Amino acid sequence: MQVGVPQEIKNHEYRVGLVPSTVNELTRTGHRVVVQHNAGTGSGFSDAEYSAAGARLTGDIEEVFSQSDMIVKVKEPQPEERRRLREGQILFTYLHLAPDPDQTRDLIRSKAVCIAYETVTSPGGGLPLLAPMSEVAGRLAPQVGAHSLQKANGGRGVLLGGVPGVLPANVLILGGGVSGSHAAMIALGMGANVTILDRSHDVLKRIDTRFGGAVRTAFSNAQTISELIESADLVIGTVLIPGASAPKLITRSILGMMKPGAVIVDVSIDQGGCCETSRPTTHAEPIYVVDGIVHYCVANMPGAVARTSTMALNNATFPYVMALANKGWKQACLDDAYVRRGVNVIGGAVTCEPVAIAQGLEYRSVEECLQ
């Protein structure tokens, strides 16, 4: 199989789909890899390293798409990339389709086989290809929140950890999953008062055990959110329903309860955001203010630490890339039910039910498409 690795073109996106060591594994097993010039430079990988790993380098993005059986990316394909996809071609990347009808429509039109990292599951019910970036985003959230709290950025002028004689900031985290627990760890390490809300009692018990009671926990509902958000200096939204749009836990009316200059970091923005007033931003212009509340809603947060993120992502995606290259998408899906759950679009059919529901589209199962 020929595998193509284009340079990411989303705003300030420096990650890359494959690192040289993964390219080397592919070429050693007989596959061919074409990499666009400078695709890895943002993550610290030179063209020379890719060449030494057996890749063919090209400056022509059209060549990467037209000559490859499988395209491996990081972020969802941008409009100009979607126009290059063709019928039967495999696209393996993050998609986050539920809140993005334009992308869904283009992928349907392409008739490509579109497999989303974020909906591939594991035997334990986890999301193995989303987890590494959730860890990164969770650990970044208190950092960017602390920066946004600075007065020059429109924030309250509060130091997250306080100082002797001055109380630390209150951090409220919505969702105790991978991102939420990692956000709690960093916020706690920075000296903040941390509270996590979740609707799973098992998750809340796990948080309590992990942090030994240092992080407060509460069951998440509208009343609890309303009560706790009044005292929050920083709110970090990490709620996730796999494949579906994030629920709007923070309504516009709730903003009026918050302290002026408080900050919302909406990690859930890839899936539409958990705040009614959230809209995707970029690393170039990461924040905006609504009703006196600072919103940080960068849709590719891990891209800020591209080398760490790229290496962590490749560690997770490597076995799936190899399986798809060795077997083709049909056999890989037949052999692995968890890979099947990653397939969102096949030949013009939407095969991820939460996406179909979110956009009012007809749903067809992957199993039907394999018959």
What is the H or E stretch that residue 313 is in?
helix 306-335
Q: Which residues are catalytic?
A: 96, 270
What tokens appear for 288 in the block? 């905006």
What are the respective helix, strand and coil percentages of the chain, to the nearest 5? Answer: 40, 20, 40
Rounded-to-integer distance, Cα 72 and Cα 69, Å: 10
80: which residues sit within 8 A by CB, 6+ positions away? Answer: 9
What tokens appear for 226 in the block? 């309303």
Residues in a beta bridge with 105? none
Half-sphere exposure of residue 335: CA atoms within 13 angstroms, side-chain side: 10
Contact 354, 244 (CB under 8 A): yes
Bridge-based pairing state of the strands 216-219 and 193-198: parallel
Rounded-to-integer distance, Cα 371 and Cα 367, Å: 7
